[in-house]
Chain A
Amino acid sequence: MHESSSMTDLLFVFMLAAFLGFQLIKRVSPLLHSPLMSLTNAIAAVVVVGAIMITGEAGATPLAKTLGFIAVTAATINAVSGFLITDRMLKMFRRRGK
């Protein structure tokens, strides 16, 4: 394991990321609110890393493997379909005369 972070370290990371999120999302054009939502949903599928650890570690119990398997599947569906569908939506946004 890496040197574990303290609770306060993690809270600092969360707070800074949340402020960054506010600044970034405020700048997103309302035109793109639907693709934004499917993009954030795809990115949230990064929880798959937790599922991989649970499923793949040496001492995983059958229960952990079962839950992990379902979680990896569900997260992969979201990642794959989320990114593809976001791109499909964005491709449709064209400026005039193009």
Chain B
Amino acid sequence: MNAATSEMAVQAAYLIASGLFVLALMWMSSPQTARRGVLAGEIGMVLAVVGTLLHFDVVNYDLILIAMLVGTAIGVPMAYLMPMTAIPQRTAISHAFGALAVGLIGAAEYFKLAPGQEAGSFVMWALMLEMLLGFLTCTASVIAFAKLQEIMPTRPIMFAGQRPLNVLVFAGALVTGGMLIFTPLSSQMFPVFIALALLFGVLLVIPIGGADMPTVIALLNSYAGLAAAAMGFALDNKLLIIVGALDGTSGFILAMIMCKAMNRSFSNVLFGGFGQLAAGPAAGVDERPVRSMSGEEAAPMLEMAGSVVIIPGYGMAVAQAQHRVAELYERLEEKGVDVKFAIHPVAGRMPGHMNVLLAEADVPYDKLIELEDINPDMPQTDVALIIGANDTVNTAARDDPGSAIAGMPIIEADKARTVMIIKRGMSAGFAGIDNPIYFNENTQMLFGDAKKMSEHLVKELQELA
């Protein structure tokens, strides 16, 4: 095969792969076609890789094949052994791997291409953007991973002068990057540029609290995609540009949805200025009495109810209670109770977190109802059962314009005839503010661990039979 036909074959493989990746995302629109989407993505990936391996310029295969074997040997067990509760961490660390790959390829390309580049050339711009996004996304994702895995404290880490320092580091990265663009051979600036990009990634995520992770992960997803697109510009590779643009917009849209679900502006997120709510001290302790009830008392009420809406939150994931909650759902359905789940977009630690956990526990997905669709049903609901959710049902967001989370859309659990809240104690939620719903007349607290209390309710319901 000569160079020209080899090149045509590679471009053909890339063209088909691009089409398959578009189909993969298209088929994600519904659970019925989604698995077909994964298959399309896999075929696209194999085509792209095989096409590249057959490229005329690729002559040494040993290292590539060893690296692929090592990667597969790590990737396969990672995919099968990973518990579903660890999906947010896995997503964060895989953004780190992807971004690291992009950054390193950028570095290798820099040393190869820089000597032949004119100052300020398009390729140098693209390379610098690729490395900046790649390296900052890499460390930012590592920090996000460490917070989700609780290796690092999940609370925001704040210090005096944080904002100016962030601006300074980012400006430093831009300036050194600019110097490299306009004097491609000033390679003494190169390590400084990389170090500043890596440092900025760390600074970007440390002030962000755990409950804001869904937005951060979505945003890092977007950055990783844009870094791949920048690489496509540097290497004149349209496949990479298309994939990067698709992933970049995907992460961006998810981040927008998360912002909207928290009533935060997008610029608020982009400049890392969020999660700061949690830094303030909790508001004055509310001394009003709360009503509480035991599992024995709650079970008959649930059994008698015509309709129950279960509202899960991160607490359910922490307690690993999804299987017990699913059992509770099954018991109640057996007894003729209409049970639905109300899913807030930011419940959990990544977009769609609750859906995955409940699907794992065998809850049919047509029972998982979104915020806007469930709220009109809440006034006709007999029991709203809140399990590990707090801020997403905080009525202050709706009723108190002075609240720190004012305007955040909530699941209107308080409108149900009876509200039951499974909660360990009376501590405030992530936002550090009291939740007025605890003190309502129609609210009953079920104090206890989400998993144990759900188990208890299941047992009680069985005994009632």
Question: Known contacts being A49-B49, A93-B31, is A39 close to B37, with CB within 8 Å?
Answer: yes
Q: Are B7 and A1 in contact (CB under 8 A)?
A: yes
In this complex, the member of A10, A17, A97 whose beta carbon has the largest number of chain B beta carbons within 10 angstroms is: A17
> How many Å from the CB of B261 to the closest CB on chain A?
10
CB contact under 8 A between A13 and B238, given known A43-B45, A46-B243: yes
Interface of A is mostly: helix
Contact assessment for A40 and B247 in the assembled complex, using a CB-CB cutoff below 8 Å: yes
Does B387 interact with chain A (Cβ within 8 Å)?
no
Does chain A have a CB within 8 A of B241?
yes
- The answer on a CB contact under 8 Å between B25 and A76 is no
- Interface residue tally of chain B, by bracket? 35 or more
Are A79 and B31 closer than 8 Å at their CB atoms?
no
Q: How far is the CA of A25 from the CA of B360 in the complex (A)?
A: 23
Query: CB distance A5 to B236 under 8 Å?
Result: yes
Contact A47 B63 (CB under 8 A): no
**Complex CA distance for A58 and B232, rounded to whole angstroms:** 21
Contact count band on A: 35 or more
A residues 29-51 near B (Cβ < 8 Å) are: 29-51
Is B423 located at the chain interface by the 8 A CB criterion?
no
With contacts A20-B22, A58-B57 taken as known, whether A79 is within 8 angstroms of B221 at the C-beta atoms is no
Q: Is the CB of A55 within 8 A of B64?
A: yes
Of the candidates B22, B67, B345, the one having the most CB atoms from chain A within 10 angstroms of its own CB is: B67
Taking CB as reference atom, which chain A residue is nearest B371? A30
By beta carbon, the residue of chain B nearest A22 is B249
B334 to chain A, nearest CB (A): 14
**What 9 pairs across the A-B complex have the smallest Cβ distances?**
A76-B71, A80-B75, A33-B352, A21-B249, A84-B79, A17-B245, A34-B352, A33-B351, A72-B67
Further 12 A-B residue pairs, CB within 8 A, beyond A20-B245, A57-B58, A89-B84: A20-B246, A21-B247, A24-B29, A24-B246, A34-B356, A39-B28, A50-B105, A52-B64, A60-B60, A65-B63, A67-B108, A77-B71
